[in-house]
Amino acid sequence: MSRALAPLILIAIVTALWQGVVQVLRVPSYILPAPSSIVAALGQDAPLLVRSAWRTLATALLALGLAAVFAGVLALIVSLNPILDRAIRPLAVTLQVTPVIAIAPLFVIWAGVEHPGRAVIALAAIVAFFPIFSGLARGLASADPDLERLFDLYGARPLQRLARLRLPSATPFLVEGCKVASGLAIIGAVVAEFVAGSGGEQGLAWRILEAGNRLETAKMFAAILVLALMAASVNAAFVWLERRALVWYRGR
Amino acid sequence: MTLVRLEGAEVIYPGRGVVLGPIDLALSAGEAVAIVGASGSGKSTALRLLAGLEPPSRGAVERNLGPGETSVVFQAPTLAPWMSTLANVALPLTLAGVPRASAQGRALAALDRVGLASVAASRPAQLSGGMAMRAALARALVTRPRAMLLDEPFAALDEITRRDLADDLLRLWAETGAAMVFVTHNVEEAVYMGARVLVLSRGPGRIAVEAATPTGLPRSAGFRATPEFRSAAEAVSAALKQASEAA
Protein backbone atom coordinates (compact mmCIF):
# COMPACT_ATOMS: atom_id res chain seq x y z
CA MET A 1 0.00 0.00 0.00
CA SER A 2 2.60 2.55 1.14
CA ARG A 3 4.85 1.42 -1.70
CA ALA A 4 2.29 2.50 -4.30
CA LEU A 5 1.37 5.58 -2.28
CA ALA A 6 4.87 7.00 -1.73
CA PRO A 7 5.56 8.17 -5.30
CA LEU A 8 2.01 9.55 -5.62
CA ILE A 9 2.51 11.65 -2.49
CA LEU A 10 5.83 12.95 -3.83
CA ILE A 11 4.18 13.86 -7.16
CA ALA A 12 1.38 15.67 -5.32
CA ILE A 13 3.85 17.68 -3.22
CA VAL A 14 6.03 18.65 -6.18
CA THR A 15 3.00 19.62 -8.29
CA ALA A 16 1.55 21.74 -5.50
CA LEU A 17 4.87 23.54 -4.93
CA TRP A 18 5.26 24.04 -8.67
CA GLN A 19 1.76 25.50 -8.99
CA GLY A 20 2.33 27.77 -5.97
CA VAL A 21 5.74 29.05 -7.11
CA VAL A 22 4.53 29.77 -10.65
CA GLN A 23 1.50 31.72 -9.38
CA VAL A 24 3.27 33.66 -6.64
CA LEU A 25 6.32 34.63 -8.72
CA ARG A 26 4.24 35.14 -11.91
CA VAL A 27 6.64 33.06 -14.01
CA PRO A 28 5.90 33.60 -17.72
CA SER A 29 4.10 30.54 -19.06
CA TYR A 30 6.49 30.14 -22.00
CA ILE A 31 9.32 29.54 -19.49
CA LEU A 32 7.50 27.40 -16.95
CA PRO A 33 3.76 26.78 -17.37
CA ALA A 34 1.73 25.92 -14.27
CA PRO A 35 0.69 22.29 -13.85
CA SER A 36 -2.89 23.41 -14.38
CA SER A 37 -2.09 24.78 -17.86
CA ILE A 38 -0.23 21.58 -18.71
CA VAL A 39 -3.30 19.57 -17.76
CA ALA A 40 -5.42 21.92 -19.86
CA ALA A 41 -3.07 21.46 -22.84
CA LEU A 42 -3.18 17.73 -22.29
CA GLY A 43 -6.98 17.73 -22.42
CA GLN A 44 -7.10 19.99 -25.45
CA ASP A 45 -4.51 18.01 -27.47
CA ALA A 46 -5.45 14.56 -26.20
CA PRO A 47 -6.56 12.97 -29.51
CA LEU A 48 -3.53 14.31 -31.38
CA LEU A 49 -1.13 13.26 -28.61
CA VAL A 50 -2.58 9.75 -28.48
CA ARG A 51 -2.23 9.44 -32.26
CA SER A 52 1.37 10.65 -32.14
CA ALA A 53 2.19 8.43 -29.17
CA TRP A 54 0.80 5.44 -31.02
CA ARG A 55 2.91 6.39 -34.03
CA THR A 56 6.09 6.48 -31.92
CA LEU A 57 5.17 3.31 -30.02
CA ALA A 58 4.42 1.40 -33.22
CA THR A 59 7.74 2.53 -34.67
CA ALA A 60 9.62 1.46 -31.54
CA LEU A 61 7.91 -1.94 -31.39
CA LEU A 62 8.49 -2.59 -35.08
CA ALA A 63 12.14 -1.64 -34.59
CA LEU A 64 12.32 -3.93 -31.58
CA GLY A 65 10.97 -6.82 -33.63
CA LEU A 66 13.42 -6.17 -36.47
CA ALA A 67 16.30 -5.88 -33.99
CA ALA A 68 15.28 -9.14 -32.32
CA VAL A 69 15.27 -11.01 -35.63
CA PHE A 70 18.67 -9.68 -36.74
CA ALA A 71 20.23 -10.00 -33.29
CA GLY A 72 18.88 -13.53 -32.92
CA VAL A 73 20.26 -14.72 -36.24
CA LEU A 74 23.62 -13.03 -35.69
CA ALA A 75 23.98 -14.34 -32.12
CA LEU A 76 23.26 -17.86 -33.35
CA ILE A 77 25.87 -17.59 -36.11
CA VAL A 78 28.41 -16.13 -33.72
CA SER A 79 27.77 -18.84 -31.12
CA LEU A 80 28.49 -21.54 -33.67
CA ASN A 81 31.65 -19.95 -35.01
CA PRO A 82 34.28 -18.42 -32.68
CA ILE A 83 36.17 -16.81 -35.58
CA LEU A 84 33.05 -14.93 -36.71
CA ASP A 85 32.50 -13.99 -33.07
CA ARG A 86 35.91 -12.35 -32.91
CA ALA A 87 35.26 -10.64 -36.25
CA ILE A 88 31.77 -9.32 -35.53
CA ARG A 89 31.89 -8.41 -31.86
CA PRO A 90 34.21 -5.35 -32.05
CA LEU A 91 32.07 -3.93 -34.86
CA ALA A 92 28.89 -4.50 -32.88
CA VAL A 93 30.41 -2.84 -29.80
CA THR A 94 31.62 0.12 -31.85
CA LEU A 95 28.17 0.55 -33.37
CA GLN A 96 26.68 0.39 -29.90
CA VAL A 97 28.90 3.06 -28.33
CA THR A 98 28.49 5.50 -31.25
CA PRO A 99 25.78 7.98 -30.22
CA VAL A 100 22.72 7.33 -32.36
CA ILE A 101 22.16 11.06 -32.82
CA ALA A 102 25.49 11.28 -34.70
CA ILE A 103 24.56 8.71 -37.32
CA ALA A 104 20.90 9.71 -37.57
CA PRO A 105 21.39 12.39 -40.28
CA LEU A 106 23.10 9.80 -42.49
CA PHE A 107 20.11 7.50 -42.27
CA VAL A 108 17.73 10.35 -42.99
CA ILE A 109 19.69 11.06 -46.19
CA TRP A 110 19.71 7.39 -47.19
CA ALA A 111 16.03 6.91 -46.49
CA GLY A 112 15.19 9.92 -48.69
CA VAL A 113 13.02 12.92 -48.01
CA GLU A 114 9.83 11.01 -48.76
CA HIS A 115 10.49 8.21 -46.27
CA PRO A 116 11.74 9.66 -42.99
CA GLY A 117 9.83 6.84 -41.25
CA ARG A 118 12.22 4.26 -42.62
CA ALA A 119 15.20 6.11 -41.17
CA VAL A 120 13.47 6.32 -37.80
CA ILE A 121 12.73 2.59 -37.73
CA ALA A 122 16.28 1.69 -38.82
CA LEU A 123 17.85 3.93 -36.16
CA ALA A 124 15.61 2.64 -33.38
CA ALA A 125 16.42 -0.93 -34.48
CA ILE A 126 20.17 -0.22 -34.35
CA VAL A 127 19.88 1.04 -30.80
CA ALA A 128 17.71 -1.92 -29.76
CA PHE A 129 19.96 -4.45 -31.47
CA PHE A 130 22.87 -4.58 -29.06
CA PRO A 131 21.29 -5.66 -25.76
CA ILE A 132 19.44 -8.49 -27.52
CA PHE A 133 22.53 -9.59 -29.43
CA SER A 134 24.90 -9.50 -26.46
CA GLY A 135 22.32 -11.05 -24.12
CA LEU A 136 21.59 -13.93 -26.45
CA ALA A 137 25.26 -14.47 -27.36
CA ARG A 138 26.18 -14.56 -23.68
CA GLY A 139 23.24 -16.82 -22.89
CA LEU A 140 24.15 -19.29 -25.62
CA ALA A 141 27.65 -19.58 -24.15
CA SER A 142 26.59 -19.85 -20.53
CA ALA A 143 24.94 -23.25 -20.28
CA ASP A 144 25.88 -25.19 -17.13
CA PRO A 145 29.29 -26.78 -17.92
CA ASP A 146 28.27 -30.01 -16.19
CA LEU A 147 25.14 -30.18 -18.35
CA GLU A 148 27.41 -29.65 -21.37
CA ARG A 149 29.47 -32.61 -20.10
CA LEU A 150 26.32 -34.73 -19.83
CA PHE A 151 25.49 -33.87 -23.44
CA ASP A 152 29.07 -34.93 -24.35
CA LEU A 153 28.68 -38.14 -22.37
CA TYR A 154 25.47 -39.11 -24.11
CA GLY A 155 26.81 -38.24 -27.55
CA ALA A 156 24.51 -35.31 -28.35
CA ARG A 157 24.72 -34.00 -31.92
CA PRO A 158 25.41 -30.26 -32.46
CA LEU A 159 21.79 -29.55 -33.34
CA GLN A 160 20.51 -31.41 -30.27
CA ARG A 161 22.92 -29.44 -28.11
CA LEU A 162 21.70 -26.17 -29.58
CA ALA A 163 17.99 -26.92 -29.40
CA ARG A 164 17.89 -28.77 -26.09
CA LEU A 165 20.64 -27.11 -24.09
CA ARG A 166 22.01 -23.81 -25.40
CA LEU A 167 18.80 -22.15 -26.62
CA PRO A 168 16.82 -22.99 -23.46
CA SER A 169 19.77 -21.86 -21.31
CA ALA A 170 19.81 -18.57 -23.21
CA THR A 171 16.10 -17.83 -22.76
CA PRO A 172 16.39 -15.74 -19.56
CA PHE A 173 19.23 -13.72 -21.14
CA LEU A 174 17.13 -13.15 -24.27
CA VAL A 175 14.13 -11.93 -22.28
CA GLU A 176 16.32 -9.60 -20.23
CA GLY A 177 17.91 -8.29 -23.43
CA CYS A 178 14.49 -7.59 -24.96
CA LYS A 179 13.42 -5.70 -21.83
CA VAL A 180 16.44 -3.42 -22.01
CA ALA A 181 16.06 -3.09 -25.79
CA SER A 182 12.41 -2.01 -25.51
CA GLY A 183 13.43 1.08 -23.54
CA LEU A 184 16.27 1.83 -25.92
CA ALA A 185 13.99 1.39 -28.96
CA ILE A 186 11.73 4.19 -27.67
CA ILE A 187 14.72 6.45 -27.01
CA GLY A 188 16.10 5.61 -30.45
CA ALA A 189 12.77 6.29 -32.15
CA VAL A 190 12.36 9.68 -30.47
CA VAL A 191 15.95 10.75 -31.17
CA ALA A 192 15.55 9.73 -34.81
CA GLU A 193 12.24 11.58 -35.06
CA PHE A 194 13.95 14.70 -33.77
CA VAL A 195 16.66 14.45 -36.40
CA ALA A 196 14.21 13.56 -39.19
CA GLY A 197 12.33 16.56 -37.86
CA SER A 198 9.87 16.90 -40.75
CA GLY A 199 6.13 17.16 -40.63
CA GLY A 200 5.97 13.89 -42.50
CA GLU A 201 6.92 11.91 -39.43
CA GLN A 202 4.23 12.73 -36.89
CA GLY A 203 5.51 11.02 -33.74
CA LEU A 204 5.68 12.51 -30.27
CA ALA A 205 9.05 14.12 -31.02
CA TRP A 206 7.37 16.22 -33.69
CA ARG A 207 4.72 17.33 -31.19
CA ILE A 208 7.51 18.51 -28.87
CA LEU A 209 9.42 20.23 -31.68
CA GLU A 210 6.31 21.89 -33.07
CA ALA A 211 5.18 23.19 -29.68
CA GLY A 212 8.74 24.34 -28.92
CA ASN A 213 8.99 26.30 -32.15
CA ARG A 214 5.78 28.13 -31.23
CA LEU A 215 6.87 28.67 -27.61
CA GLU A 216 3.80 26.72 -26.49
CA THR A 217 5.65 25.35 -23.52
CA ALA A 218 2.58 23.83 -21.87
CA LYS A 219 2.04 21.71 -24.98
CA MET A 220 5.68 20.64 -24.87
CA PHE A 221 5.24 19.50 -21.29
CA ALA A 222 2.05 17.67 -22.25
CA ALA A 223 3.83 15.78 -25.03
CA ILE A 224 6.81 14.99 -22.78
CA LEU A 225 4.43 13.73 -20.11
CA VAL A 226 2.71 11.41 -22.60
CA LEU A 227 6.10 10.18 -23.80
CA ALA A 228 7.29 9.48 -20.26
CA LEU A 229 4.07 7.64 -19.38
CA MET A 230 4.31 5.59 -22.55
CA ALA A 231 7.92 4.60 -21.90
CA ALA A 232 7.12 3.72 -18.29
CA SER A 233 4.16 1.56 -19.38
CA VAL A 234 6.26 -0.28 -21.95
CA ASN A 235 8.94 -0.88 -19.31
CA ALA A 236 6.34 -2.12 -16.82
CA ALA A 237 4.89 -4.45 -19.46
CA PHE A 238 8.31 -5.95 -20.14
CA VAL A 239 9.11 -6.31 -16.44
CA TRP A 240 5.84 -8.21 -16.07
CA LEU A 241 6.58 -10.31 -19.17
CA GLU A 242 10.05 -11.11 -17.86
CA ARG A 243 8.66 -12.27 -14.53
CA ARG A 244 6.08 -14.46 -16.27
CA ALA A 245 8.70 -15.88 -18.60
CA LEU A 246 10.96 -16.79 -15.68
CA VAL A 247 8.09 -18.46 -13.85
CA TRP A 248 7.37 -20.47 -16.97
CA TYR A 249 11.07 -21.23 -17.37
CA ARG A 250 11.77 -22.41 -13.83
CA GLY A 251 8.30 -23.69 -13.04
CA ARG A 252 7.85 -21.40 -10.04
CA MET B 1 36.42 -57.92 -16.63
CA THR B 2 38.10 -54.51 -16.69
CA LEU B 3 35.78 -51.71 -17.76
CA VAL B 4 38.26 -48.82 -17.64
CA ARG B 5 42.01 -48.88 -17.21
CA LEU B 6 44.25 -45.86 -16.64
CA GLU B 7 47.92 -46.54 -17.32
CA GLY B 8 50.41 -43.89 -16.36
CA ALA B 9 47.70 -41.35 -17.10
CA GLU B 10 48.62 -37.71 -16.54
CA VAL B 11 46.61 -34.54 -17.02
CA ILE B 12 48.40 -31.28 -17.63
CA TYR B 13 46.53 -27.98 -17.86
CA PRO B 14 48.21 -25.01 -19.51
CA GLY B 15 49.29 -22.57 -16.82
CA ARG B 16 48.62 -25.00 -13.98
CA GLY B 17 51.08 -27.73 -14.80
CA VAL B 18 50.45 -31.37 -13.91
CA VAL B 19 47.19 -31.61 -11.96
CA LEU B 20 46.91 -35.38 -11.93
CA GLY B 21 49.11 -38.40 -12.21
CA PRO B 22 50.76 -40.37 -13.35
CA ILE B 23 48.17 -42.82 -12.00
CA ASP B 24 47.33 -46.45 -12.70
CA LEU B 25 43.81 -47.58 -12.00
CA ALA B 26 41.65 -50.45 -13.19
CA LEU B 27 37.91 -50.49 -12.68
CA SER B 28 36.42 -53.98 -12.75
CA ALA B 29 32.82 -54.80 -13.55
CA GLY B 30 30.50 -54.53 -10.58
CA GLU B 31 33.04 -53.25 -8.03
CA ALA B 32 32.70 -50.23 -5.74
CA VAL B 33 35.72 -47.94 -5.51
CA ALA B 34 35.96 -44.77 -3.46
CA ILE B 35 38.52 -42.10 -4.25
CA VAL B 36 39.29 -39.71 -1.41
CA GLY B 37 41.53 -36.68 -1.58
CA ALA B 38 41.88 -33.13 -0.38
CA SER B 39 40.59 -30.33 -2.61
CA GLY B 40 43.00 -29.74 -5.46
CA SER B 41 44.10 -33.36 -5.57
CA GLY B 42 42.64 -33.88 -9.04
CA LYS B 43 39.75 -36.12 -7.95
CA SER B 44 37.29 -34.63 -10.45
CA THR B 45 39.92 -34.76 -13.18
CA ALA B 46 40.43 -38.47 -12.49
CA LEU B 47 36.69 -38.98 -12.77
CA ARG B 48 36.52 -37.14 -16.09
CA LEU B 49 39.35 -39.35 -17.40
CA LEU B 50 37.43 -42.45 -16.34
CA ALA B 51 34.27 -41.09 -17.99
CA GLY B 52 36.11 -40.39 -21.23
CA LEU B 53 35.08 -36.73 -21.00
CA GLU B 54 38.69 -35.63 -21.19
CA PRO B 55 41.75 -37.24 -22.80
CA PRO B 56 44.94 -37.78 -20.79
CA SER B 57 47.86 -35.48 -21.65
CA ARG B 58 50.24 -38.45 -21.27
CA GLY B 59 49.69 -42.13 -20.71
CA ALA B 60 46.74 -44.21 -21.79
CA VAL B 61 43.06 -44.60 -20.98
CA GLU B 62 41.44 -47.79 -22.18
CA ARG B 63 37.66 -47.89 -22.00
CA ASN B 64 35.63 -51.02 -22.72
CA LEU B 65 32.31 -49.22 -22.50
CA GLY B 66 29.85 -48.39 -25.24
CA PRO B 67 27.67 -45.30 -25.58
CA GLY B 68 25.26 -44.94 -22.66
CA GLU B 69 27.15 -47.48 -20.56
CA THR B 70 28.85 -44.78 -18.50
CA SER B 71 26.94 -42.36 -16.33
CA VAL B 72 28.19 -39.44 -14.29
CA VAL B 73 26.67 -37.69 -11.28
CA PHE B 74 28.08 -34.30 -10.35
CA GLN B 75 28.25 -32.42 -7.08
CA ALA B 76 25.22 -30.36 -8.08
CA PRO B 77 22.14 -32.21 -9.36
CA THR B 78 22.71 -30.56 -12.77
CA LEU B 79 19.07 -30.77 -13.82
CA ALA B 80 17.83 -28.52 -16.62
CA PRO B 81 15.43 -26.04 -14.94
CA TRP B 82 13.23 -25.70 -18.03
CA MET B 83 12.36 -29.40 -18.19
CA SER B 84 10.15 -31.48 -15.93
CA THR B 85 11.91 -33.96 -13.66
CA LEU B 86 10.68 -36.75 -15.92
CA ALA B 87 12.10 -35.09 -19.05
CA ASN B 88 15.41 -34.55 -17.25
CA VAL B 89 15.64 -38.22 -16.34
CA ALA B 90 14.62 -39.26 -19.86
CA LEU B 91 17.23 -36.96 -21.45
CA PRO B 92 20.02 -39.56 -21.91
CA LEU B 93 17.53 -41.77 -23.75
CA THR B 94 15.94 -39.09 -25.92
CA LEU B 95 19.41 -37.81 -26.91
CA ALA B 96 20.22 -41.34 -28.05
CA GLY B 97 17.08 -41.39 -30.20
CA VAL B 98 14.89 -43.64 -28.04
CA PRO B 99 11.23 -42.91 -28.94
CA ARG B 100 9.58 -40.47 -26.56
CA ALA B 101 6.99 -42.82 -25.11
CA SER B 102 9.39 -45.59 -24.26
CA ALA B 103 12.00 -43.12 -22.96
CA GLN B 104 9.39 -41.64 -20.64
CA GLY B 105 8.31 -45.06 -19.47
CA ARG B 106 11.87 -46.03 -18.59
CA ALA B 107 12.46 -42.64 -16.96
CA LEU B 108 9.38 -43.12 -14.81
CA ALA B 109 10.63 -46.57 -13.77
CA ALA B 110 14.02 -45.04 -12.85
CA LEU B 111 12.29 -42.30 -10.83
CA ASP B 112 10.27 -44.98 -9.08
CA ARG B 113 13.46 -46.76 -8.03
CA VAL B 114 14.69 -43.66 -6.23
CA GLY B 115 11.25 -43.00 -4.71
CA LEU B 116 10.39 -39.98 -6.85
CA ALA B 117 7.63 -41.27 -9.16
CA SER B 118 5.14 -38.88 -7.55
CA VAL B 119 7.09 -35.75 -8.55
CA ALA B 120 7.78 -36.75 -12.16
CA ALA B 121 5.87 -33.73 -13.47
CA SER B 122 7.51 -31.23 -11.10
CA ARG B 123 10.27 -28.91 -12.16
CA PRO B 124 13.71 -29.25 -10.54
CA ALA B 125 13.23 -25.90 -8.76
CA GLN B 126 10.30 -27.43 -6.89
CA LEU B 127 12.39 -30.29 -5.50
CA SER B 128 14.43 -30.24 -2.28
CA GLY B 129 18.20 -30.68 -2.55
CA GLY B 130 17.97 -34.35 -1.62
CA MET B 131 15.14 -34.99 -4.08
CA ALA B 132 17.02 -33.23 -6.87
CA MET B 133 20.05 -35.45 -6.19
CA ARG B 134 17.79 -38.52 -6.28
CA ALA B 135 16.51 -37.35 -9.67
CA ALA B 136 20.14 -37.05 -10.82
CA LEU B 137 20.72 -40.63 -9.64
CA ALA B 138 17.63 -41.75 -11.57
CA ARG B 139 19.00 -40.05 -14.69
CA ALA B 140 22.33 -41.88 -14.12
CA LEU B 141 20.48 -45.20 -13.87
CA VAL B 142 18.10 -44.78 -16.78
CA THR B 143 20.50 -46.02 -19.47
CA ARG B 144 21.33 -49.14 -17.39
CA PRO B 145 25.02 -48.15 -17.21
CA ARG B 146 27.84 -50.59 -16.47
CA ALA B 147 29.88 -47.86 -14.81
CA MET B 148 28.51 -45.12 -12.56
CA LEU B 149 30.92 -42.31 -11.73
CA LEU B 150 29.96 -39.97 -8.92
CA ASP B 151 31.81 -36.73 -8.17
CA GLU B 152 31.12 -35.69 -4.55
CA PRO B 153 27.40 -36.13 -5.15
CA PHE B 154 26.30 -35.59 -1.55
CA ALA B 155 28.67 -32.77 -0.62
CA ALA B 156 25.95 -30.12 -0.64
CA LEU B 157 23.39 -32.12 1.36
CA ASP B 158 22.68 -32.21 5.08
CA GLU B 159 23.94 -35.15 7.14
CA ILE B 160 20.62 -37.04 7.43
CA THR B 161 19.87 -36.77 3.70
CA ARG B 162 23.46 -37.70 2.90
CA ARG B 163 23.26 -40.91 4.94
CA ASP B 164 19.88 -41.88 3.46
CA LEU B 165 21.17 -41.34 -0.05
CA ALA B 166 24.38 -43.28 0.68
CA ASP B 167 22.33 -46.34 1.64
CA ASP B 168 20.00 -45.88 -1.35
CA LEU B 169 22.95 -45.58 -3.70
CA LEU B 170 24.59 -48.75 -2.34
CA ARG B 171 21.28 -50.62 -2.68
CA LEU B 172 20.93 -49.44 -6.30
CA TRP B 173 24.57 -50.34 -6.98
CA ALA B 174 23.95 -53.87 -5.66
CA GLU B 175 20.70 -54.21 -7.65
CA THR B 176 22.09 -52.99 -10.96
CA GLY B 177 25.46 -54.74 -10.79
CA ALA B 178 27.12 -51.64 -12.27
CA ALA B 179 30.63 -50.67 -11.22
CA MET B 180 30.75 -47.53 -9.09
CA VAL B 181 33.45 -44.93 -8.57
CA PHE B 182 32.60 -42.59 -5.71
CA VAL B 183 34.76 -39.48 -5.37
CA THR B 184 34.66 -37.61 -2.07
CA HIS B 185 36.77 -35.50 0.28
CA ASN B 186 35.09 -37.14 3.27
CA VAL B 187 37.06 -40.09 4.68
CA GLU B 188 34.13 -41.75 6.43
CA GLU B 189 31.97 -41.48 3.35
CA ALA B 190 34.77 -43.08 1.31
CA VAL B 191 35.09 -46.02 3.72
CA TYR B 192 31.30 -46.40 3.76
CA MET B 193 30.84 -46.36 -0.03
CA GLY B 194 33.83 -48.28 -1.36
CA ALA B 195 35.02 -51.87 -1.08
CA ARG B 196 38.40 -50.29 -1.63
CA VAL B 197 39.51 -46.73 -1.06
CA LEU B 198 42.14 -44.93 -3.12
CA VAL B 199 43.82 -42.07 -1.28
CA LEU B 200 45.02 -39.29 -3.57
CA SER B 201 48.00 -37.12 -2.67
CA ARG B 202 48.01 -33.48 -3.58
CA GLY B 203 49.63 -31.45 -6.35
CA PRO B 204 49.82 -33.42 -8.64
CA GLY B 205 47.28 -36.01 -7.56
CA ARG B 206 48.68 -39.51 -7.30
CA ILE B 207 47.40 -42.66 -5.67
CA ALA B 208 49.29 -42.62 -2.37
CA VAL B 209 47.62 -45.57 -0.68
CA GLU B 210 45.01 -48.15 -1.56
CA ALA B 211 43.08 -49.53 1.38
CA ALA B 212 40.50 -52.32 1.58
CA THR B 213 37.46 -51.57 3.76
CA PRO B 214 35.48 -53.97 5.98
CA THR B 215 33.52 -56.37 3.78
CA GLY B 216 29.77 -56.21 3.31
CA LEU B 217 28.28 -53.81 0.78
CA PRO B 218 25.60 -52.45 1.04
CA ARG B 219 26.36 -51.56 4.66
CA SER B 220 24.19 -52.93 7.43
CA ALA B 221 22.43 -50.63 9.88
CA GLY B 222 24.79 -49.47 12.60
CA PHE B 223 27.89 -50.12 10.49
CA ARG B 224 29.19 -46.65 11.29
CA ALA B 225 29.32 -47.55 14.99
CA THR B 226 31.39 -50.74 14.53
CA PRO B 227 35.08 -50.82 15.57
CA GLU B 228 35.95 -52.13 12.09
CA PHE B 229 34.49 -49.01 10.46
CA ARG B 230 36.15 -46.71 12.99
CA SER B 231 39.58 -48.26 12.58
CA ALA B 232 39.33 -48.30 8.76
CA ALA B 233 38.32 -44.64 8.80
CA GLU B 234 41.21 -43.76 11.14
CA ALA B 235 43.68 -45.62 8.92
CA VAL B 236 42.47 -43.87 5.75
CA SER B 237 42.43 -40.57 7.58
CA ALA B 238 46.05 -41.02 8.68
CA ALA B 239 47.04 -41.98 5.13
CA LEU B 240 45.28 -38.93 3.73
CA LYS B 241 47.03 -36.66 6.25
CA GLN B 242 50.40 -38.12 5.31
CA ALA B 243 49.64 -37.85 1.57
CA SER B 244 48.60 -34.21 1.91
CA GLU B 245 51.66 -33.26 3.98
CA ALA B 246 54.10 -35.01 1.70
CA ALA B 247 53.24 -32.61 -1.12
User: CA of B161, closest CA in chain A: separation in Å?
Assistant: 23
| pLDDT above 80 (res B154) | yes
Distances (CA, A) of B233 to B161, B166, B199, B211, B225: 21, 16, 12, 10, 11
Position B30 scores a pLDDT of: 94
Mean pLDDT (whole number) for B141-166 = 93
**From the list A149, A154, A171, which residue is nearest B95 (CB)?**
A154
DSSP symbol at B144:
-
| pLDDT above 80 (res A106) | yes
Cβ contacts of B74 on chain A, cutoff 8 Å: 146, 149
Q: Do A160 and B95 touch (CB under 8 A)?
A: yes
| Per-residue pLDDT band at A3 (split at 50, 70, 90) | confident
Residue type at position B196: R
Query: Distance between CA B43 and CA B60 in Å, rounded?
Result: 17
| Nearest alpha carbon to residue B183 among B199, B168, B171 | B199
Q: How far apart are the first and last CA of chain B?
A: 34
Q: Do B95 and A151 touch (CB under 8 A)?
A: yes
Position B130 scores a pLDDT of: 93
- List own/partner pairs for B242-245 with CB under 8 A and 24 or more apart: B242/B208, B243/B37, B243/B199, B243/B200, B243/B201, B243/B202, B243/B208, B243/B209, B244/B38, B244/B41, B244/B201, B244/B202
- What mean pLDDT is reported for chain A? 91
Cβ atoms < 10 Å from Cβ of B189:
21
| pLDDT above 80 (res A201) | no
Task: Quick: pLDDT tens for A71-99.
Answer: 999 999 988 888 988 898 888 888 888 99
pTM: 0.84
Position A42 scores a pLDDT of: 94
Q: Which of residues 164-193 of A touch B (CB under 8 A)?
A: 164-165, 168, 171
Mean pLDDT (whole number) for A17-24 = 94
| Nearest alpha carbon to residue A100 among A178, A39, A189 | A189
Query: Distance between CA B184 and CA B37 in Å, rounded?
Result: 7
**From the list A153, A171, A249, which residue is nearest B72 (CB)?**
A153
What is the layout of strands, in order, in the sheet containing B70-73? B70-73, B147-151, B179-184, B32-37, B196-200, B207-212
| pLDDT above 80 (res A130) | yes
Cα dihedral B13→B18→B22→B25 (10° resolution): -50
Element (H, E) at B212: strand B207-212
Q: Which residues contact A157 (CB under 8 A, 6 or more apart)?
A: none
CB contact, 8 Å: B70 with chain A? yes
Range with the poorest average pLDDT among A104-108, A236-240, B74-78, B105-109? A104-108
CB contact, 8 Å: A96 with chain B? no
CA contacts within 13 A on the Cβ side of A143:
20
Peptide bond into B214 cis (omega under 30): no
- What mean pLDDT is reported for chain B? 92
| Nearest alpha carbon to residue A146 among B219, B75, B13 | B75
Q: What ipTM score was computed for the predicted complex, to two decimals?
A: 0.90
Cβ contacts of A252 on chain B, cutoff 8 Å: 123, 125-126
Cβ contacts of B144 on chain A, cutoff 8 Å: none
* B166 neighbors B192 (Cβ within 8 angstroms): yes
Task: Quick: pLDDT tens for B42-81.
Answer: 889 999 999 999 999 999 999 999 888 999 999 999 999 9
Q: Which of residues 79-118 of B touch A (CB under 8 A)?
A: 80-84, 91-92, 95-96
**From the list B82, B84, B125, which residue is nearest A168 (CB)?**
B82
Query: Distance between CA B101 and CA B74 in Å, rounded?
Result: 27
Cβ contacts of B92 on chain A, cutoff 8 Å: 150, 153-154
Peptide bond into B22 cis (omega under 30): yes
Task: Quick: pLDDT tens for B128-147.
Answer: 999 999 999 999 999 999 99
Query: Distance between CA A125 and CA B201 in Å, rounded?
Result: 58
